[in-house]
């Protein structure tokens, strides 16, 4: 292996007397691709800034091979000293660098270069900063949360661009898929110390769990040894006659070791406050469209969302994801078409820009609404400090104003507020921004157990794959199509360019490349007599099945039924399962035929 061109050794750093880094280390050789991972607040960004030479450690050694070029991407780039974006990007070039590469990268990232920095969105600021650090093709590229505020096309473009660079790249990111695709080594920053795994992030979590389990076993061994020694000290024959001073000193040393042994910080404790169940139908959109200034955002979109669905909405920034979400939930009226909402909906939402947070409110006021010191969560009345601890806030932060919180802390605060509100429909707009991997895991588990419905806007591919049951994806020119499964399933169903996609029930799409060119136009298609008969008779069939289901459920609810007639109980249970499946199939058939009828009538 080539010698390192940058290394940190025995790095110590404290803030206000509290140690953040203790003996941390980092080493980078030419072309290496390590990722730096750890919980929010563990010091990842700080260690990266020390490596970049932007801040100094209290003690330790930093070495950079003479002549090595380093570029650092901050989480919050500052363009205020520049009149336009192109001048900002060119200011990052060194003598001899190609000035045309700056304009080329901006074009690739969807920017002209003449934009005024003060008018840029968060995503555009991040694109400009990426162009600035990529343009020189440095020896070492340090990226702090490079995918924040980027849409999926930009993230996938960035991955391809980084694969083609010869630079060594150090990455800090919460985007699992990004890290798994690019990293070749993993540096874990935990409790101020660094440990290295000589393989990429894909292997990290299993390795980390093994390490933590081993440490827990060592802790138990130490505790058992202390108990044995304390028993000897109290009851041992030798101890009663004459103290064995050496053994006593050893016991004190064991106790000191237990006190000083670092413990893992607590986990976020998430519990959602459930409202009553919504109706089976949550929302049904029929041919909805929306335009602004002649620009079509949504064109003739239809979907049926039912209780328990987890629907992801994906597309480039500016495509209209939030507009579509607002129409599906009745917050925005479509120009054409209609949206029918189900009964008994109780909505809780999380907006991506944290705009609903009052920057001047304290943490306590943000959680309680300014009324008292109690929060009602999942049917329990909790003190606000206890609820703060569930989301890793310290008691002394109770009076901290929202504007002083970090991005990760604001993200946890928004989650705490959303989950405390009674709901059976969660609207999550970029919920993963600024959350660490452990918090993302817990959010994923909470959503898996949530009995209601989830509508999720996200650019996090791994999170989408883990959470959603269908994906509504932007296809261009106002067209949105719904695919069954997660993000990876959506890519597989899209197939290659030119393959046909035909709608199935509820707007879900399936790849239909094999029948491309065989589809008939609406004007030449007709419903068969069998289809028309089924469409006419299915509603009565559904009513009859619903009645039988209700009767069986009432029969099975009798606590004495099984003891009186075990065979009858089993038969009734089997029949209930059978007719519930029949009803689901009949509902699906009716919906398919109804969509076909509307499609044909619309084409007349």
Q: How confident is the model at residue 502 (pLDDT cuts 50, 70, 90)?
A: very low
Q: Which of 82, 83, 77 is nearest to 129 (CA)?
A: 77
Q: To the nearest whole number, what is the mean pLDDT of the chain? A: 82
Q: Tell me, what's the pLDDT at 457?
A: 92
Q: What are the DSSP calls for 25-91, one per residue?
A: EEEE-TT--EEEE--TTSSHHHHHHHHHTSS--SEEEEEE-TT--EEEE-SS---TT-SSHHHHHHT
Q: What's phi and psi for 403, nearest 5 deg? A: -65, -20
As a whole number, mean pLDDT of residues 20-27 equals 94
For residue 415 the two structure tokens come to 């989650």
Q: Which two tokens stand for residue 110?
A: 């969807």
Q: Which of the listed ranges 323-327, 418-422, 597-601 does the model predict with the highest average pLDDT?
A: 323-327
> At 394, is the secondary structure helix, strand, or coil?
coil
pLDDT (average), residues 365-394 = 80
Section 219-228 average pLDDT: 70
- Domain 522-602 part of CATH 3.20.20.70: no
The more confident residue out of 482 and 396 is 482
Is the separation of the CB atoms in 168 and 137 below 8 Å?
Answer: no
Rounded to whole angstroms, the Cα distance separating 510 from 518 reads: 15
Asked if residue 509 has pLDDT above 60, the reply is: no
Predicted confidence at residue 278, as pLDDT, reads 67
Q: What is the mean pLDDT of residues 399-421?
A: 79
**pLDDT, average across residues 100-109:** 94
Provide the 8-state DSSP code for 201: G
pTM: 0.69
6-206 folds as Rossmann fold (3.40.50)
Q: Is the pLDDT of residue 262 over 60?
A: no
The stretch 442-449 carries a mean pLDDT of 80
Highest mean pLDDT among 109-113, 560-564, 598-602: 109-113
Q: What is the pLDDT of residue 579?
A: 84
Stretch 64-86: mean pLDDT, rounded? 94
What are the pLDDT digits (tens) for 333-369?
A: 999 999 999 888 888 887 655 556 788 888 888 888 8
Distance of alpha carbon 170 from alpha carbon 205, whole angstroms: 18
d(CA 120, CA 110) in angstroms, rounded, equals 12
- The more confidently predicted of residues 63 and 388 is 63
pLDDT at 68 over 70: yes
Mean pLDDT value of segment 530-544:
80
pLDDT of residue 145: 92
Question: Domain 281-346+422-515 carries which CATH code?
Answer: 3.40.50.300
Segment 165-204, tens digit of pLDDT: 999 999 999 999 999 999 999 999 988 999 999 999 999 9
Instruction: Answer whether 328's CB lies under 8 Å from 470's CB.
Output: no
Average pLDDT, integer, range 424-438: 83
pLDDT value at residue 461: 93
Q: Edge to edge, what strands does the sheet with 336-341 contain?
A: 295-306, 281-292, 336-341
**What average pLDDT does this structure show over 77-81?**
92
Poorest-pLDDT segment among 110-114, 196-200, 432-436: 432-436
Report which of residues 295 and 246 the model is more confident about: 295
Q: Which residue has the higher pLDDT, 397 or 132?
A: 132
Note the pLDDT of residue 554: 83
Q: Residue 275: which residues within 8 A CB-CB, separation 6 or more?
A: 344, 346, 422, 423, 424, 452
**What is the predicted pLDDT for the residue at 521?**
37
Query: Is the per-residue pLDDT at 125 higher than 50?
Result: yes
- Rounded to an integer, the average pLDDT of 464-475 is 93
- Pull the structure tokens for residue 322: 């939030």
DSSP 235: H
Q: How far apart are CA 281 and CA 14, in angstroms?
A: 55
**pLDDT, average across residues 62-67:** 95
Give the torsion sign (CA, 223, 226, 231, 234).
Answer: negative
CB 478 within 8 A of CB 299: yes
pLDDT at 37: 94
């Amino acid at each position: 292996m080539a010698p390192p061109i940058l290394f940190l050794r025995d790095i110590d750093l404290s803030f206000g007397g509290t140690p953040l880094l203790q003996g941390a280390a980092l080493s980078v050789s030419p072309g290496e691709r390590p990722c730096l991972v750890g919980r929010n607040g563990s010091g990842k960004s700080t260690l990266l800034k020390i490596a970049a030479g932007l801040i100094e450690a209290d003690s330790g050694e930093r070495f950079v091979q003479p002549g090595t070029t380093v570029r650092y991407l901050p989480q919050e780039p500052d363009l205020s000293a520049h009149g336009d974006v192109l001048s900002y990007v060119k200011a990052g070039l060194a003598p001899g660098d190609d000035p045309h590469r700056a304009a080329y990268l901006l074009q690739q990232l969807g920017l002209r270069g003449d934009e005024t920095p003060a008018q840029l969105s968060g995503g555009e600021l991040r694109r400009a900063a990426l162009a600035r650090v990529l343009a020189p093709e440095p020896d070492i590229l340090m990226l702090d949360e490079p995918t924040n505020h980027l849409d999926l096309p930009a993230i996938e473009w960035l991955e391809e661009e980084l694969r083609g660079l010869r630079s060594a790249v150090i990455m800090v990111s919460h985007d699992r898929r990004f890290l798994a695709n690019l990293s070749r080594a993993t540096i874990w920053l935990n409790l101020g110390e660094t440990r290295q795994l000589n393989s990429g992030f894909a292997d990290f979590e299993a390795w980390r769990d093994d390490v933590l389990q081993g440490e827990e076993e060592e802790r138990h061994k130490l505790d058992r040894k202390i108990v044995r020694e304390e028993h000897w000290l109290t009851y041992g024959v030798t101890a009663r006659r004459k103290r064995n001073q050496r053994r006593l000193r050893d016991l004190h040393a064991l106790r000191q070791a237990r006190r000083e042994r670092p413990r893992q910080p607590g986990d976020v404790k998430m519990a959602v406050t459930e409202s009553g169940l919504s109706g089976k139908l949550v929302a049904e959109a029929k041919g909805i469209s929306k335009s602004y200034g002649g620009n079509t955002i949504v064109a003739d979109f239809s979907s049926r969302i039912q209780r328990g669905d987890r629907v992801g909405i994906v597309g480039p920034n500016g495509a209209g994801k939030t507009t579509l979400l607002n129409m599906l939930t009745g917050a925005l009226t479509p120009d054409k078409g209609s949206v029918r909402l189900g009964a008994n909906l109780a909505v809780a939402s999380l907006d991506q820009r944290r705009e609903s947070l009052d920057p001047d409110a304290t943490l306590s006021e943000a959680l309680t609404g300014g009324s008292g010191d109690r929060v009602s969560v999942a049917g329990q009345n909790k003190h606000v400090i206890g609820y703060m601890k569930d989301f890793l806030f310290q008691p002394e932060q109770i009076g901290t104003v929202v504007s002083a919180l970090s991005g990760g802390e604001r993200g946890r605060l928004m989650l705490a507020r959303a989950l405390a509100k009674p709901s059976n429909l969660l609207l999550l707009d970029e919920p993963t921004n600024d959350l660490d991997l452990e918090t993302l895991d817990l959010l994923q588990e909470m959503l898996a157990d949530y009995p209601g419905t989830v509508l999720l806007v996200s650019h996090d591919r791994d999170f989408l794959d883990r959470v959603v049951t269908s994906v509504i994806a932007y296809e261009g020119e106002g067209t949105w199509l719904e695919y069954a499964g997660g993000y990876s399933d959506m890519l597989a169903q899209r197939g290659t360019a030119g393959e046909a996609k035909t709608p199935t029930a509820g707007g879900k799409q399936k790849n239909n490349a094999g029948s491309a060119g065989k589809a008939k136009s609406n004007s030449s298609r007709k419903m068969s007599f069998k289809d028309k008969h089924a469409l006419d008779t299915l509603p009565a069939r559904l009513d009859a099945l619903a009645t039988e289901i209700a009767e069986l459920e009432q029969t099975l609810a009798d606590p004495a039924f099984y003891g009186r007639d075990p065979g009858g109980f089993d038969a009734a249970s089997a029949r209930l399962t059978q007719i519930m499946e029949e009803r689901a199939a009949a509902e699906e058939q009716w919906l398919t035929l109804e969509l076909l009828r509307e499609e044909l009538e619309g084409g007349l």
